[in-house]
C-alpha cells in the first residue's frame, strides 16, 4: 500500500544529499573533534564549516552558534540559561499560551524556582496581542520568549514587532524557531532576536541535532556540565555526522527556499480547497494568509481525533492531531483550546 506522508511538521525525511554528506563522518572520518591529530582536526573543521553555514542562514556571527541535541535542548538552554544568568536584575518572563511544550514546561519549572511567568493569550488565528505584551511588561521583566511560527496551526507571529518592543524595554528576546527555520527567511539582526532555537529534522536534516543562536554579549548558564566543548557552553563529544547533516540541510533549504515555498503553498491551498468543497462541518485553524507554506490544520466536527487518524493510517495516510511531543495524551491540543477561547 502506498504511503502518503502528511506530517512534515512532526519530522521530515532526511534528504538523500544530506545522508550522503553525513556518511564519511560515520565510518571514515571518525576522530574526536577535540583531538589534536589529523583525524580529529578534520572533524573540527567540518563542525566549524557547519557553524558558518548556520550563521550565514541566520545572518549572525559564527561564534554566536552553539550545537545541541535538538530544539528542546536549545529552548531549555536559552530560557533557563538567560533567566538564571540575569536573575539579579529581575525574575519575570513573558511567553504565550500556544508555545511548544519545551518552552511551556521550562517556564513552569522556573515558576517552581521562584520566577514569575506571564502567559499571553492569542486571537482566533493564534496571533499574540502586541498591546497586551506591552501592558504586562514590568521593571523585573528580563526575558520574552515567543515562538516564530506555531508547530500545530502554522501561524507566524509578529516577530519583528516583538523584537522592537523587547529592545526598547531592554528585555532579552528568545524565539523558538524550530518550525520556521527552513521555511522562512530569518535575519536575527534585523528582527532584534537575542536567542533562537532550531532543529535539523524540520528541514530535511537528521534527528537528534539542533542549534542555538545567542547574540554576542548575552550571558547564559550552560545546560550540560562536563567538558569544554562549544566554547564551554555545552559539554559532550560533538555529534559530528549530525552537525554535518544539519549544515547541508540548512544550506539546501535556503538555496531553494522561494521555489520550494511556492510549490508547497500551492499544494496546500489545493488540498484545503478540496476539503472545504467535499467535507461538511469543518473549520480551518490558524491565519489563512500569515502561516507556514506547508501547514494546514483542520477541525472535523462529530468525530474523535484519534479514531480519524487510525482510519487514515489504515489507508496509508500519515497525519497528526497535535504536536508529536504530546502523542499519547488524551488531553485536547492546548493550541486549539487557546484560539477557541477567543471565539
Q: Are 82 and 142 in contact (CB under 8 A)?
A: yes
Dihedral angle computed from the Cα positions of residues 20, 25, 28 and 32, in that order, rounded to the nearest 10 degrees: 180
Q: How far apart are CA 133 and CA 11, in angstroms?
A: 31
Q: Which domains does the chain have, with CATH numbers?
A: 4-12+257-340 (3.90.1150.10), 16-255 (3.40.640.10)
Q: What is the DSSP string of 180-218?
A: TBTTB---TTTTT-SEEEEEGGGTT--SS-EEEEE-TT-
Q: What's the pLDDT score for residue 328? A: 54
Neighbour-count burial for 69-104, b at 16+ CB within 10 Å, e otherwise: bbbbbbbbbbbbbbbbbbbeebbbbbbbbbbbbbbb
Q: Are 190 and 156 in contact (CB under 8 A)?
A: no
Residues taking part in catalysis: 325
The per-residue pLDDT string of the chain (343 residues; one tens digit each, 9 = 90 and over) reads: 899 999 999 999 999 999 999 999 999 999 999 999 998 999 999 999 999 999 999 999 999 999 999 999 999 999 999 999 999 999 999 999 999 999 999 999 999 999 999 999 999 999 999 999 999 999 999 999 999 999 999 999 999 999 999 999 999 999 999 999 999 999 999 999 999 999 999 999 999 999 999 999 999 999 899 999 999 999 999 999 999 999 999 999 999 999 999 999 999 999 999 999 999 999 999 999 999 999 999 999 999 888 999 999 999 999 998 766 655 555 789 999 999 866 5
Q: How far apart are CA 94 and CA 165, in angstroms?
A: 12
Question: How far lies 95's CA from each of 12, 92, 118, in Å?
Answer: 27, 10, 6
Q: What's the pLDDT score for residue 323? A: 67
Copy the grid coordinates of residue 34.
577535540
Q: What's the pLDDT score for residue 329? A: 59
Q: What's the pLDDT score for residue 342? A: 60
Q: How far apart are CA 195 and CA 220, in angstroms?
A: 10
Phi and psi at 129, nearest 5°, equal: -80, 110
Q: What is the DSSP string of 27-59?
A: HTS---TT-SSHHHHHHHHHHHHHHHHHHHHHT
Q: What's the pLDDT score for residue 1? A: 80
Q: How far apart are CA 228 and CA 120, in angstroms?
A: 37
Q: Are 12 and 151 in contact (CB under 8 A)?
A: no
Amino acid at each position: 500500500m502506498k504511503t502518503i506522508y502528511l506530517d512534515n511538521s512532526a519530522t521530515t525525511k532526511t534528504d538523500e544529499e544530506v545522508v550522503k554528506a553525513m556518511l564519511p563522518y560515520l565510518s571514515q572520518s571518525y576522530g574526536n573533534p577535540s583531538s589534536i591529530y589529523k583525524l580529529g582536526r578534520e572533524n573540527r573543521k567540518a563542525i566549524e564549516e557547519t557553524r558558518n553555514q548556520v550563521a550565514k542562514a541566520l545572518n549572525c556571527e559564527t561564534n554566536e552558534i552553539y550545537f545541541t541535541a535538538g530544539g528542546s535542548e536549545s529552548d531549555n538552554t536559552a530560557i533557563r540559561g538567560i533567566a538564571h544568568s540575569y536573575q539579579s536584575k529581575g525574575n519575570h518572563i513573558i511567553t504565550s499560551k500556544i508555545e511548544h511544550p519545551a518552552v511551556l514546561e521550562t517556564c513552569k519549572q522556573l515558576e517552581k524556582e521562584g520566577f514569575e511567568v506571564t502567559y499571553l493569550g492569542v486571537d482566533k488565528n493564534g496571533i499574540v496581542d502586541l498591546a497586551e505584551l506591552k501592558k504586562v511588561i514590568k521593571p523585573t521583566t528580563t526575558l520574552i520568549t515567543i515562538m516564530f511560527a506555531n508547530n500545530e496551526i502554522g501561524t507566524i507571529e509578529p516577530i519583528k514587532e516583538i523584537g522592537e518592543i523587547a529592545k526598547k524595554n531592554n528585555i532579552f528576546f528568545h524565539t523558538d524557531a524550530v518550525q520556521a527555520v527552513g521555511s522562512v527567511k530569518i535575519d536575527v539582526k534585523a528582527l532584534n532576536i537575542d536567542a533562537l532555537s532550531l532543529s535539523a529534522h524540520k528541514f530535511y536534516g537528521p534527528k537528534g541535532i539542533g542549534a542555538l543562536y545567542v547574540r554576542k554579549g548575552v550571558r547564559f548558564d550552560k545546560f550540560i556540565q562536563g567538558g569544554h566543548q562549544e566554547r564551554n557552553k555545552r559539554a559532550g563529544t560533538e555529534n559530528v555526522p549530525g552537525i554535518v547533516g544539519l549544515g547541508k540541510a540548512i544550506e539546501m533549504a535556503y538555496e531553494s527556499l522561494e521555489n520550494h515555498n511556492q510549490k508547497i503553498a500551492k499544494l496546500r491551498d489545493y488540498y484545503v480547497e478540496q476539503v472545504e468543497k467535499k467535507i461538511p462541518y469543518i473549520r480551518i485553524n490558524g491565519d489563512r494568509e500569515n502561516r507556514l507554506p506547508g501547514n494546514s490544520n483542520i477541525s472535523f466536527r462529530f468525530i474523535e481525533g484519534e479514531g480519524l487518524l487510525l482510519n487514515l493510517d489504515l489507508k496509508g495516510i500519515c497525519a497528526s492531531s497535535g504536536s508529536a511531543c504530546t502523542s499519547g495524551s488524551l488531553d485536547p491540543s492546548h493550541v486549539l483550546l487557546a484560539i477557541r477561547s477567543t471565539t
